C-alpha cells in the first residue's frame, strides 16, 4: 500500500518544477506567425474565390494560440478546428430560412452558446462564426467548410508550435486544462447559467433594436458577442475585463485601421496581413490582451463595400456593450471592483 502522506509532504516541501520562462522573442515570433498565417489564408481566399475562408475570428484565434499555445484556446486544438464550423453551419441554416431580426439573431446566438456548452469547447470566437452569416447575409453552404479549412490549418499549425514550447510544469498544465474547460463535466446549471446568460441576451436584443432603428447593422458586429460572452461568463479570467476603459478605443482603432487598409490595398493577402499587423500594433500600444479586436480589424475584408459607418458602428456597439457590462456587474455585485 502506498503511503500517500509521504507524497503529500514531498509536494509541500519541494516546489513544483517551474514552467519554462516565456521568452519575449517567442511572443514576437508568435505575432509574426499569426500575421503570416492570416496572409496565407487571404491568399487561399483570393485564389479560390471563397472569401469566407478568411473568417475574421481566425485573427483572434491565431494570435492567442501562437502567443499562448498552452493557454485556454491553445489547449483545445480539436475544438479549435471543429467548433467554429459547427456554429457556422447553425448560422448558415438560420440565414437561409429566416430574415435578419430579433428571432434569427437570438436563435443563432443561443444555438452557438449551446454548442459551446454541450461540447465543453472554450473556443468562444465560434459564436462569431455563427453570427457572421446572418449579419452579412451569407447563405452559401460553402461557408462552414471554408471556416473548417481555416480553423483546421490553424490547429495543425498550433500542434507544431506547441512542440517547440513544452510546458514542463505538470501542475501548471493541469491548471491550464482546467481553465480551458477540458476537465469539467457539463451540468444543467452550467448549461442554463441565467446569472450571466440573461444579461448577455438582453444586450443582444437591445443591440438588434439599435440596428433596426439606425440601419447600422455593425452595431451588433459578431466579435462583440464574443467579447461580452467572455466578460459575462467568466469576468475573473477574461483578460480585458480589467481594462474596460480602453476597450472601446482599442476596438474602434482596430476597426478604423482595418477599414482604411481595405480601402487602400487591393490585394487580398496583403490587405489581410496588414490588417492583422495593425490590430497587433494597436494591442501593443494600449497594452491590452483583446484578441477579438483583431477580428474587428479583419472584418472589412468580408464586407461588401464597407463604408466609414463600419468603424463608427463598432465604436457605438462596443461602447454600449461595455457600459451595459459595468452597470450589470455593479448591480449584481455592488462590492466588485472594476478597473475602468
Could you state, in order of their start, the residue ranges of all structural domains in the chain? 26-332
CA 133 to chain centre: 16
Percent of the chain with pLDDT over 90: 74
Q: Could you identify the residue written with the cell 475574421?
A: 56
Label residue 331 by pLDDT band (50, 70, 90).
Answer: confident
pLDDT in tens, 238-252: 999 999 999 999 999
Q: Side-chain half-sphere of 201: how many Cα atoms within 13 Å?
A: 19
Burial class (CB in 10 A: 0-12, 13-18, 19+), 161: middle
Mean pLDDT of 64-69: 94
DSSP string, 241-277: GGGTTTHHHHHHHHHHHHHHHHHH---HHHHHHHHHH
Which residues, 6+ apart, have CB-to-CB distance to 128 below 8 Å? Answer: 56, 57, 222, 223, 225, 226, 292, 295
Cell matching residue 211? 440596428
Kindly give the residue spans of alpha helices, DSSP state H, lying in the chain. 4-13, 24-48, 57-67, 77-97, 102-119, 126-136, 143-163, 170-179, 188-192, 194-214, 222-233, 247-264, 268-286, 292-298, 309-332
- The three-state secondary structure class of 197 is helix
Percent of the chain with pLDDT over 70: 82
Average pLDDT over the chain reads: 86
> What is the rounded CA–CA span in Å between residue 109 and residue 130?
7
pLDDT in tens, 171-205: 344 444 444 444 333 433 444 456 789 999 999 99
CA 71 to each of CA 67, 207, 295: distance values in angstroms, whole numbers, following the listed order? 9, 31, 19
Closest alpha carbon to 319 in 221, 205, 202: 221
- The three-state secondary structure class of 12 is helix
Cell matching residue 75? 489547449
pTM of the predicted model as reported, rounded to 2 decimal places: 0.85
Checking if the pLDDT of 161 tops 60, the result is yes
Checking if the pLDDT of 46 tops 60, the result is yes
Label residue 166 by pLDDT band (50, 70, 90).
Answer: low
> What is the rounded CA–CA span in Å between residue 280 and residue 295?
11
Label residue 340 by pLDDT band (50, 70, 90).
Answer: very low
Cell matching residue 278? 495593425
* Widest distance between CA atoms in the chain: 72
Structure confidence at residue 17 (pLDDT): 39
> What is the rounded CA–CA span in Å between residue 71 and residue 68?
5
Label residue 13 by pLDDT band (50, 70, 90).
Answer: very low
Structure confidence at residue 193 (pLDDT): 55
Structure confidence at residue 194 (pLDDT): 60
Low-confidence winner among 10-19, 21-30, 156-165, 235-244 (lowest mean pLDDT): 10-19
CA 314 to each of CA 28, 55, 197, 229, 254: distance values in angstroms, whole numbers, following the listed order? 28, 18, 22, 17, 10
Checking if the pLDDT of 268 tops 90, the result is yes
Q: Could you identify the residue written with the cell 447600422?
A: 216
Amino acid at each position: 500500500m502506498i503511503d500517500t502522506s509521504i507524497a503529500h509532504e514531498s509536494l509541500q516541501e519541494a516546489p513544483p518544477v517551474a514552467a519554462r520562462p516565456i521568452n519575449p522573442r517567442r511572443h514576437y515570433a508568435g505575432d509574426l506567425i499569426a500575421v503570416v498565417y492570416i496572409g496565407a489564408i487571404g491568399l487561399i481566399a483570393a485564389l479560390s474565390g471563397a472569401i469566407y475562408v478568411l473568417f475574421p475570428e481566425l485573427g483572434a484565434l491565431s494570435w492567442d494560440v501562437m502567443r499562448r499555445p498552452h493557454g485556454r484556446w491553445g489547449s483545445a486544438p480539436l475544438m479549435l478546428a471543429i467548433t467554429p464550423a459547427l456554429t457556422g453551419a447553425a448560422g448558415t441554416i438560420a440565414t437561409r430560412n429566416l430574415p435578419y431580426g430579433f428571432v434569427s439573431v437570438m436563435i443563432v446566438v443561443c444555438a452557438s452558446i449551446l454548442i459551446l456548452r454541450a461540447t465543453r469547447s472554450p473556443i468562444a470566437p465560434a459564436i462569431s462564426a455563427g453570427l457572421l452569416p446572418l449579419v452579412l447575409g451569407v447563405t452559401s453552404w460553402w461557408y462552414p467548410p471554408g471556416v473548417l479549412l481555416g480553423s483546421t490549418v490553424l490547429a495543425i499549425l498550433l500542434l507544431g508550435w506547441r512542440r517547440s514550447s513544452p510546458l514542463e510544469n505538470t501542475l501548471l498544465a493541469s491548471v491550464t486544462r482546467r481553465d480551458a474547460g477540458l476537465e469539467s463535466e457539463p451540468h444543467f446549471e452550467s448549461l442554463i447559467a441565467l446569472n450571466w446568460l440573461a444579461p448577455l441576451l438582453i444586450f443582444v436584443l437591445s443591440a438588434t433594436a439599435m440596428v433596426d432603428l439606425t440601419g447600422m447593422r455593425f452595431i451588433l458586429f459578431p466579435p462583440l458577442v464574443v467579447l461580452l460572452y467572455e466578460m459575462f461568463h467568466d469576468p475573473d479570467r477574461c483578460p480585458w475585463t480589467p481594462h474596460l476603459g480602453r476597450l472601446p478605443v482599442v476596438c474602434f482603432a482596430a476597426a478604423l485601421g482595418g477599414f482604411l487598409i481595405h480601402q487602400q490595398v487591393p490585394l487580398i493577402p496583403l490587405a489581410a496581413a496588414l490588417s492583422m499587423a495593425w490590430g497587433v500594433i494597436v494591442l501593443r500600444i494600449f497594452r491590452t490582451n483583446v484578441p477579438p479586436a483583431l477580428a474587428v480589424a479583419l472584418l472589412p475584408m468580408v464586407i461588401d463595400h464597407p463604408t466609414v459607418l463600419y468603424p463608427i458602428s463598432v465604436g457605438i456597439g462596443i461602447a454600449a456593450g461595455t457600459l451595459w457590462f459595468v452597470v450589470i456587474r455593479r448591480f449584481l455585485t455592488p462590492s466588485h471592483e472594476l478597473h475602468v
